[in-house]
Amino acid sequence: MKKFIPVIFASTLFGVLLFSGCAKEEEPEPETPATDPRAGFRGHWAISENSSMSGVATYNVDIADSSAASFIQFAYLYGYHTKVRATVSGNSLSIPSQVVEGNNISGSGTLTNANQINMSYLVWLGGSNYDTVSAVLTK
């Protein structure tokens, strides 16, 4: 029995050392990436547009990321088949003055909640023809 106790002790010690050597090391938590301010704007939206020249119109627009990190692109805004580019800062967007399908467009908007964007923009149609537009986009 006296020889049996050292064997049990040695076996137990060997097992503890074996399993403690195989213990998984704690991996550091991955860093949380900064939230992309464009994320809330992305998606398929229904737009209700009130134009000073054409009155009320409803249709759909799609908003997607641009290849530039702070830009988004509107597909079909103002009925255009060419994408309209906008910058994003927090919950605000700004449409810098740009020529789209021969007309100049510029404006701004605010993401009021996850399902609504309020916008206003100005479309210069040439000469003294300006169309002032207010719009509400909803998901």
- The rounded mean pLDDT for the chain is 85
Residue 83 CB neighbours (<10 A): 17
The CA distance from 72 to 18, in Å, is 56
Please say if the pLDDT value at position 32 is more than 50: no
Nearest in space to 71 (alpha carbons), one of 49, 46, 42:
42
Regarding pTM above 0.75, the answer is no
For domain 43-138, say whether CATH 3.30.70.2860 is its number. Answer: no
> What backbone phi and psi angles, to 5 degrees, belong to 132?
-95, 125
Residue 82 or 25, more confident: 82
CA triple 81-85-90, angle to 5 deg: 140
**Domains of the chain by residue range:** 43-138
Please say if the pLDDT value at position 112 is more than 50: yes
